[in-house]
Structure 1
């Protein structure tokens, strides 16, 4: 796995971790754990009147029972009730086979103080069970250790350093054609290059910076494509489409990396590797030439 693939998958992981909710987050965790632990992990699904016996999955060798929690809206009292009910229920149903209980959640700000106090009380009451809370760093650790084939199975194909170097003019055409079909309305703002400090201004991560750097290697290819196209307004039409999409994403209160990842998908980064590389080159071209993300103020 090269640096470009690694950066791509780290961004995809972060997007999935923060944005998936409810059973979608649980299903994503089960898929990740299945690849990370192999046959040592067993997914548990609800069945009949007994449900899942307070277990979303278990690791056999350690006797670990996993319970996921990713609500659409966090409510402290409901969370504490769930932690207490799920832990005690798991202890009752799995008994001597439960050596560890792990709460997996995706609240980037962490658990409320009352929830931590509750977990501490459970640790003191049930000294025979290790209790842990897994957030982004722990899941990222497992995701980052996966081989390329497993990353592809979870997050899809990624652009690569080698693929970008061999990108041709014909590879760019399908991406531009798809963006053209979105039929953007031309705006009034010109395609002016932003300041070199744009990454810092928008708090984009090193992973996003890595992808944009590799994409810039083929910006000239994209520029050549537009130069040969008889429709002189096409570049501005697509730029306006990016601006409108960026404005919508920003209103949704996503992180800078989350917006960048969605713009990648908007550019067509969802297919096989060659298409991923072409979409990244196109996105990098427009990142430098239109108002997606903010330019630094004068003097910054």
Structure 2
């Protein structure tokens, strides 16, 4: 499945050695964009997996991840640091409102069970995705537990903890492994990368050119209307920074019908995928595969930019109905 279609942690790229991140050209600050996306938009099990992946990189074999299964589940743990007897538990609901309403209940329900599973525990860390901090109800519950269990250290960790203690302690190679979408260099795409992909469509489809109706330029509501995942929204937002390279190619066509050929090909492919029952994220990925000739790093990035251009020009996906 294409990098456009994945919503877990950071997505995955096509299995081709040519798309592996070139870490020697990167610096750690280049990955801050991916940290911000994961912290802001991942929730529930995706957030837990992201936390655990960073902790495993930082702590190595000192970090123990317990897979859920059987009557004990995951033993109320999203990871344990063995040397310090620290147990981590994540709570990352879908919205700040839900966090405010249920964080205290989550703490209250979890902590007694944690003690039962980990009697040697010395520290319990409540990891969460609420950048504004704890609601007073959750803070009060933690203070209550600190008084009841004075021998234990009871802590919390949110954005600053995840950034300073985990993300920023990763090596460049670990960051590249954790965020494989960083290998998609959309800003590096030039005309030489876009031209052969679009010329192939003109060559292959020009002989049986048809016509379809196309929509108006969309607003941001189009992304929501088509039920695309947060990961797909992120990919489209990144690709938009360089869609002008597609515009320049189309504007430079001596034969105006070439533009209509490409538009029709993209629209027909989109409608075919809809008819086959693919989900929106899958369609976005399949369109990228359709555009590409191979799977080099440059082609992967160029295909994302091309598909985003035709998304924004309303040749693919559905427009928000005008009320």
When normalised by structure 2's length, the TM-score is 0.56
Within-5 A mapping of 1:198-277: 215=242, 218=245, 222-223=249-250, 230-233=257-260, 268=288, 273-277=297-301
Partner Cα separation in structure 1 for residue 27 and residue 246 of structure 2: 16
The answer to whether the aligner puts 1:80 opposite 2:107 as a matched pair is no
Task: Please give the per-residue CA displacement for 1:86-133, whole angstroms capped at 9, x wherever unaligned.
Answer: 22332343233x232111222345432101111122223323322222
In structure 2, C-alpha distance between the alignment counterparts of 1:275 and 1:6, rounded to whole Å: 25
Q: Decide which of 42, 67, 75 is 1:45's aligned counterpart.
A: 67
Tell me by how many angstroms 1:283 deviates.
Answer: 7.1
Q: 1:167 to 1:112 in 2, by over 3 A?
A: farther
Q: Report the 3-state secondary structure (helix = DSSP H, G, I; strand = E; otherwise coil) of the residue aligned with 1:168.
A: helix
Segments of structure 1 that go 5 or more residues without pairing to the other structure are 192-207, 242-263, 291-300
Distance 1:12 1:127 in 2: 38
1:168 aligns with 2:193: yes
1:271-292 deviations in whole A, cap 9, x for unaligned?
76323431465478679989xx
Report the CA distance between 1:226 and its aligned residue. Answer: 6.1
CA RMSD of aligned residues (A): 4.9
For these two proteins, the number of residue pairs brought into alignment is: 251
* Shift in Å, 1:151: 3.1
Show the 5 A alignment for 1:1-300.
1=23, 2=25, 7=30, 9-72=31-94, 74=98, 78-96=102-120, 98-141=121-164, 142-157=166-181, 158-160=183-185, 163-164=188-189, 168-170=193-195, 172-173=197-198, 186-187=213-214, 189=216, 215=242, 218=245, 222-223=249-250, 230-233=257-260, 268=288, 273-279=297-303, 281-282=305-306
Specify the SS of the correspondent of 2:138.
helix
Distance 1:268 1:154, change over 3 A: farther
Secondary structure, counterpart of 2:80 in structure 1: strand
CA separation of 1:235 and 1:171: change in aligned 2, threshold 3 A = closer
Whether the aligned pair in 2 keeps the contact of 1:66 and 1:101 (CA below 8 Å) is yes
Residue 126 of structure 2 aligns to a residue in which SS?
strand
Cα distance, 1:101–1:272 mapped onto 2, change above 3 Å: farther
Structure 1, residues 44-74: CA drift from partner, whole Å, max 9, x if none? 1234323333222111233220111123572
Q: Is contact 1:104-1:133 (8 Å) kept?
A: yes
Change beyond 3 A, Cα 1:64–1:30: same
1:185 shift after superposition: 6.5
SS in 2 for 1:117: helix
Per-residue deviation, 1:224: 6.2
Q: For residues 123 and 234 of structure 1, do their structure 2 counterparts lie closer, same or farther at Cα, with a shift above 3 Å needed?
A: farther
TM-score for the superposition, normalised by structure 1: 0.60
Label 1:174 to 1:227 Cα distance change in 2 as closer, same or farther (>3 A): closer
